[in-house]
Structure formats: structure tokens, C-alpha cells
């Protein structure tokens, strides 16, 4: 069941216990101070080139390992891609198209791997902040909205507004966002949803561009935290 808060003030961005424990396990494996947070040393280790094999096996506990579901079994598949990646919506490099999502049964949630993504002002790829930085959480919140059935909003303050400036952060749900999702899931509300343009699956920023190295999967744990804190 999806339960939505009555106010965006409930959002804290804090990782839950399971995610903190997972990050600590990763930090312990690589002899990093076990903070349970995506600090600079952890991110630096995570983005290093590495062997494709896993560090630890898929299991629910150390005493009773068992296979987990595969990526292809998931209802929603989250990934970072660069350029054409086979879903009919190729990314275009830094800025421009930032991400897109397709609600189930397709259930795809893709970020452009060529963006200068940042979390709370901290760049995830580069050593210092740049004018082309895009806030990962802000884009993730909007794409989660698409996965739940929301289209783009005409309200510039809404998290479902189609564009976002670089260096900006927008993660707090506004009245339009809450009214829209409550309408879809039949909440007890009489608030009407304003007219919104159809969801074309792509969110955009029009501005300058800079060539940066592509990246892939290090930040999926961030998206999991967002889903837990905002929509579950």
C-alpha cells in the first residue's frame, strides 16, 4: 500500500536502518570509516573501475543464503544510461534530457549517465561543484511521480514541473503534487488536479553543456532511499 503524507514537511532525506546497514557493510569491506552515509570516501571508492563479480553474495542473512530475484524480475528497473539504450528514448549528453520513466508494466526508470549529478550540493563525479550540476534527488522525485502515474504539472513550484535549473533543489511535494496522486489513488480529497501537459516520459533542462565521463550504477542506493522516505 502506498501512503502519502499530508505535508511535504515529513520528508527528511534520512536513510532508513536497512540502507545505513548496507552502506556500513560496504564501507567495512573496503576499510572505510563506517559512517553509514554516502560520504566522499565512500563515493570515491564506489566509482573506481572494478571487477564485475560481486563483493558478497545475494542473501537474506549470513546463516541462510538464498538466491534473490534478478533485475529482469523486478516491477520497476532503475539504471543510468548514456545515449541510445534501447527503449526508444536516447539520452543526449549533459543537460537536455535528464531522465525518463515508464510506469508498469514497462516499469523503467532511467537517468542520463552523462549528467553532473549531485546530492545536497555534493557532486557525485567531480571534486568540486560546477554550474552544470543537477540535483539527483529532485529529478528522482519527479520520475517516481511518473512511475506512479503523474504527468507533468503546469505549476512551476511542483516537483512534477518538467524543467529544473542547474544547481536547484526541489524535493518538497506541493499541493498540486499531493492532489494529483490522491486523485489517482482515490484518497479522500476533493482537490482537483490542474490541467497538465501529457507525460512524454522525458524531463528537460535547456542550457549550456559540458562533456563529462559517463557513469553507471553507484547511486541506485540513493534512489532506494528516496522511495522509502517519500512514497512508502
pLDDT band at 212 (very low <50, low <70, confident <90, very high): very low
Encode pLDDT of 94-109 as tens digits: 888 888 888 767 778 8
Domain extent listing, the chain: 74-218
Condensed to tens digits (0 to 9), the pLDDT of residues 102-140 reads 876 777 888 998 888 887 767 666 666 688 888 888 899
206-219 mean pLDDT: 29
Give the whole-angstrom CA distance, residue 40 versus residue 151. Answer: 35
Torsion (CA) 225, 226, 228, 231 in degrees, nearest 10: 180
CATH of the domain spanning 74-218:
3.40.390.10
The whole-angstrom separation of Cα 220 and Cα 36 is 15
Question: Tell me: the pLDDT tens digits for 31-42?
Answer: 889 999 888 888
Annotated catalytic residues are 143
Type and span of the H or E element at 144: helix 136-147
Across the range 209-223, mean pLDDT stands at: 32
- pTM value is 0.54
**Predicted pLDDT of residue 11:** 45
CA dist., res. 172 & res. 157, Å (int): 9
| φ and ψ of 153, to 5 deg | -100, 155
Amino acid at each position: 500500500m502506498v501512503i502519502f503524507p499530508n505535508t511535504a514537511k515529513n520528508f527528511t532525506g534520512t536513510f532508513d536502518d536497512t540502507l545505513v546497514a548496507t552502506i556500513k557493510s560496504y564501507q567495512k569491506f573496503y576499510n572505510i570509516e563506517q559512517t553509514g552515509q554516502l560520504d566522499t570516501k565512500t563515493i570515491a571508492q564506489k566509482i573506481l573501475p572494478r571487477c564485475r563479480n560481486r563483493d558478497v553474495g545475494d542473501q537474506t542473512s549470513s546463516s541462510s543464503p538464498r538466491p534473490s530475484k534478478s533485475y529482469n524480475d523486478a516491477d520497476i528497473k532503475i539504471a543510468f544510461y548514456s545515449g541510445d539504450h534501447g527503449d526508444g528514448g536516447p539520452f543526449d549528453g549533459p543537460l537536455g534530457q535528464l531522465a525518463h520513466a515508464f510506469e508498469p508494466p514497462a516499469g523503467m526508470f532511467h537517468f542520463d549517465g552523462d549528467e553532473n549529478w549531485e546530492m545536497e550540493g555534493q557532486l557525485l563525479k567531480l571534486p568540486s561543484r560546477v554550474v552544470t550540476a543537477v540535483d539527483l534527488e529532485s529529478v528522482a522525485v519527479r520520475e517516481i511521480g511518473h512511475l506512479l502515474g503523474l504527468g507533468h504539472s503546469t505549476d512551476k513550484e511542483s516537483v512534477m514541473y518538467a524543467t529544473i535549473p542547474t544547481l536547484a533543489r526541489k524535493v518538497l511535494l506541493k499541493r498540486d503534487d499531493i492532489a494529483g496522486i490522491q486523485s489517482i489513488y482515490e484518497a479522500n480529497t476533493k482537490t482537483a488536479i490542474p490541467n497538465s501537459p501529457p507525460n512524454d516520459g522525458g524531463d528537460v533542462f535547456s542550457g549550456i553543456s559540458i562533456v563529462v565521463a559517463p557513469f553507471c550504477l553507484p547511486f541506485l542506493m540513493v534512489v532506494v532511499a528516496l522511495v522509502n522516505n517519500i512514497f512508502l
